[in-house]
Structure 1
Amino acid sequence: MYNKSHAQMPMDRSPPFSSSSSDSSQFSSTSSSPAKSMRVVLSIECLKGSSKADEWTGDMLQTGDIVEELRIGNMIVKSPFKNGKSGIQKILHGSFKQKETSIRVRVRRGCADLAELQACIVPGDQFVGRKQYVLRAIDDPNYAVGFIDRTESQCLDLQASRTSRMVSALERTPLQDGYVSYPWERRLVEMLSIPNSSSFYSVLFLPKSSDKASARYNDLEDTLARAHTWINASQASGVPIVFMNIQTESLLTKISGDTASSTVNAGSLSDLSNIANTSLYGFEDYHGVDLGVVRAVRLWFSPLAGEIPIEIRIKDTDTRLGFAISRTPEGFIYISSVIEGADDVPSARSGLSSLYKQASQSARLLVVSRISNQKLLPWMVSATGAIRCFDTVSLSQKLSLHRHTRVPILVHVYLWDRSANNANVGSIRARAMSTSPPTPPSTEAHLKMTARGVEEGEEDSDEEETVASDGQEDITIERDTAGEFSFRLHDFALKNNWV
């Protein structure tokens, strides 16, 4: 193999040579003899640059170098070469046919500077044609050179123009792109805390309708303000989330008449200023305004300290899971209560009760982010202002079915970090989280004001357990505007809110 040490070894008693580059003054000394300068010599032509970007170093062959000697196996051919390039191509062809492809080339620059290259003989299909042969460097197969006939003066001129050729090569050399295979299936399991699922969450805020007919919508600033209000209110209630990013999202819809607050003529850029703060605008065509663009706002957030999985295993003797679930006004499902003093209920055995107590002490809510790997967080705010989220009644029924069938429940909850420094999250995130959490209220007041528990939906009298204080009214259920199958539960007056 070729290495730089070869460049320091003289060949056939030749004088020692240096691999350093030469200045233009070194090449002008031979131009005094017109006959010598017009002599045709075998010269190097660089066909492909080195992947190591060192083809301009002194020990790499360069365009314009004069070939002094070739060594192929035990055969040594020295300058002058009979028939020039064509004669050398015959020698290369014969050597390649005999599978003698290792070659060492020694070249001259200027008067005395020499350099060597250890290479192999390969067909020049992609460079100079099928019937020609080129040399590829042993230590860098990307670097390829060929032979060409030039006069000695042309070679010296090329050698003298090395600096300008380097600048030219710099300007015309592009960066190449490529592809690399990636073990996605394995990485999705190894690199995520929850395999095949991210911990990035978002809520899409549609612009609020400003009339009952939903023909007019508030501007973009109103949508941004509502998104900001939602994240601040969520953090103030004790949901341990951190603001990540906010962006506008364009949604296409069909409109007609004067529904759009502004219209844009596709041929006029000046009309773009009309849509700077609008939530709905339309495009005109030959048939009038028929295509509208709704500008919604997507708010991205993430758990402050990640999510933790809790596996709740069920025993045959379990009649309760030992915890109550509720929903915040912002749409988050959370653990609102746990059974005290019972160590043999599923919530205590799994450690859920302990986490709930720690969260309460830190003025944080124990938010349920997933049930059986299904995300339970709010995901959209409609044009009427209703938050699209999960219904606690159906969730309670699903948890009850888990208990009856003795199927373990995999619950993911949001972790909180008492030592988290908001300033480290970034200035924007710190400002978004600037609302200080409220003082934890008493247990009874907390249940009255924030918890909205759900009934298990069963009629078994032996499983009923009263958690409400005397004098409270019965629960009232009414249809919520957040979805066809969602309920809003008012007045935490439950006789059976435990699951």
Structure 2
Amino acid sequence: MGSDQRVVCVKKVKQKAAEEWDESMPLPGDIIEGIAEGAAANTFIPAKARSELSSQLGSFSRQTEVIWLKVRRGDSVLKLQACVVKKGCSKLQRRFTIRAASDERHVVGLADLTYEQCTALQEMSRKIVTMDSRGFNKEAIKYDWKMKVGTYIPDEGSTVVSSVLFMPLEKEHNIEATTTRTMAWFSAAVSSGAPLVFVNIQTEQITNSKRSNIPAKESARIRQQKYTTDVQRLQGIRLWFLPGVAEVSFKLAPEKGETRFGMNISRIDEVTEKSSLTVDKYQQSSGFIYVHSVTKETAAERAGLGDLLEQANKTGHLVVISRLEGRSLMPSTVSSDGLIHCGDNAEIKETLTSAIEELDSIRIHIMSWPNNMIHQAPQPLDVSTLRPPQC
């Protein structure tokens, strides 16, 4: 055969997810030798040119949607099932093509190509669907999610990892500036004594679907941007971290006659110099809440917070509260005006006051730091559990 002879060939497919291709589909490089309503060898109508094949597909479409293809792929001749679909919307010039019977996204683009061109396309398709690169076929198996969560997560309210979403400031026009501010916040919090463990940092495009996760002011700003231009979007930075090497649970149980739990809490204050030319300093908060003192002979001391505070003071750490009654007290968002959104002081005070008035016990979770001497059972999930086992 002459190298310039042309045959009807699959030139491309519209489905971009090439990893989902398989050998039962028409693939780029397949030479269409014939089409038929059934798979019997003597019923295939030869395909001589793309335009002629389109007309034949149009005739078939009046009788059936599913057809059979006889294709040459390398040295093999295969029979594949396919569906007839219209190509284009013109009523004056209707053209038809085919798609994979198993995937309606897999629409074929046909062309009259040389054997050399078909061979090159077949080699490309072979590399995509070969078992060596695609791996074994996947199967679905059952998994006892409820049991695993109950066994390997400290309690139902824990997600193990936490994150803070940093929105760009009004005058921040590149992601590097937001990233720098994000890492400055993290470094300042750690330097102040918060035992945070860095996990990851990623860019995050903020769209209307995420309005419920950010403050109302941010939602208004996003809506304004959306209606101003279709291409303008807010791009923030999400910082992932572990709240300490573990979250350790403490139960504070008041006794009759007690009017407070005995732990004094406040926000972490970061002391920062105003400028290099002065020694004046001012305080800022990273948004975390910590225990700065424990009263003797109270529920907090009986729970062990007093001993823990002594350890923290010796090692330069803070006793940071990650959750109160299972609800997070950690920062969640930094808005475009620079405000840190975290646990509300008034609501925290109301929760503690209500519990002590009823003499109800409360449960708090503390961020643990490396090598602290907390003796509790069962042991919480710590950061070492997240690492692969040593071989």
Q: How does the TM-score come out when normalised to structure 1?
A: 0.40
Matched residue, 2:263: 323
Answer yes or no: is 1:411 the counterpart of 2:372: no
Matched residue, 2:191: 236
Deviating 4+ runs (over 3 angstroms):
170-174
Alpha-carbon distance change, 295 to 313 in structure 1, aligned in 2, over 3 angstroms: same
Answer yes or no: is 1:249 the counterpart of 2:210: no
Alpha-carbon distance change, 200 to 288 in structure 1, aligned in 2, over 3 angstroms: closer
Matched residue, 1:185: 146
Aligned pair partner of 1:206 in 162, 167, 176: 167
- Select the structure of larger CA radius of gyration: 1
Matched residue, 1:337: 293
Matched residue, 2:55: none
- Structure 1 residue 418: Cα displacement: 3.8
- Structure 1 residue 351: Cα displacement: 0.9
Alpha-carbon distance change, 294 to 349 in structure 1, aligned in 2, over 3 angstroms: same
Show the 5 A alignment for 1:59-78: none
Matched residue, 2:177: 222
| Identical-residue share of aligned pairs (%) | 30
Q: Indicate if the aligned counterparts of 1:325 and 1:392 stay in contact, CA closer than 8 A.
A: no
Q: Indicate if the aligned counterparts of 1:359 and 1:365 stay in contact, CA closer than 8 A.
A: yes
3-state secondary structure, aligned to 1:292? coil
Matched residue, 2:123: none
User: What RMSD in Å do the two structures reach over aligned CA positions?
Assistant: 3.0
Q: Indicate if the aligned counterparts of 1:313 and 1:407 stay in contact, CA closer than 8 A.
A: yes
Deviations 1:114-145 (A, max 9, x none): xxxxxxxxxxxxxxxxxxxxxxxxxxxxxxxx
Matched residue, 1:400: 353
Matched residue, 1:312: 252
Answer yes or no: is 1:303 the counterpart of 2:264: no
Structure 1 unpaired stretches of 5+: 1-169, 211-216, 255-279, 420-424, 427-499
Task: Quote the Cα distance in structure 1 between the aligned partners of 2:191 and 2:262.
Answer: 27
Deviations 1:141-168 (A, max 9, x none): xxxxxxxxxxxxxxxxxxxxxxxxxxxx
Higher relative contact order structure (alpha carbons within 8 Å, sequence separation ≥ 6): 2
- Structure 1 residue 192: Cα displacement: 1.1
| The structure with more strand, counted as a fraction of residues | 2
Q: Indicate if the aligned counterparts of 2:243 and 2:322 stay in contact, CA closer than 8 A.
A: no
Amino acid at match of 2:164: V
- Structure 1 residue 221: Cα displacement: 0.9
- Structure 1 residue 355: Cα displacement: 1.1
Alpha-carbon distance change, 288 to 327 in structure 1, aligned in 2, over 3 angstroms: closer
Matched residue, 1:391: 344
Amino acid at match of 1:376: L
Alpha-carbon distance change, 185 to 196 in structure 1, aligned in 2, over 3 angstroms: farther
- Structure 1 residue 225: Cα displacement: 0.4
Q: Indicate if the aligned counterparts of 2:149 and 2:156 stay in contact, CA closer than 8 A.
A: yes
Q: Indicate if the aligned counterparts of 2:197 and 2:245 stay in contact, CA closer than 8 A.
A: no
Task: Quote the Cα distance in structure 2 between the aligned partners of 1:331 and 1:203.
Answer: 11
Task: Quote the Cα distance in structure 2 between the aligned partners of 1:184 and 1:314.
Answer: 35
Amino acid at match of 1:307: E
3-state secondary structure, aligned to 2:233? strand
Matched residue, 2:62: none
Show the 5 A alignment for 1:6-405: 175-195=136-156, 197-210=158-171, 217-252=172-207, 289-328=229-268, 329-339=285-295, 342-343=296-297, 345-405=298-358
Task: Quote the Cα distance in structure 1 between the aligned partners of 2:307 and 2:225.
Answer: 57
3-state secondary structure, aligned to 2:236? strand
Count residues in correspondence: 216
Alpha-carbon distance change, 366 to 171 in structure 1, aligned in 2, over 3 angstroms: closer
Alpha-carbon distance change, 172 to 316 in structure 1, aligned in 2, over 3 angstroms: closer
Q: Indicate if the aligned counterparts of 2:179 and 2:237 stay in contact, CA closer than 8 A.
A: yes
Amino acid at match of 1:332: F
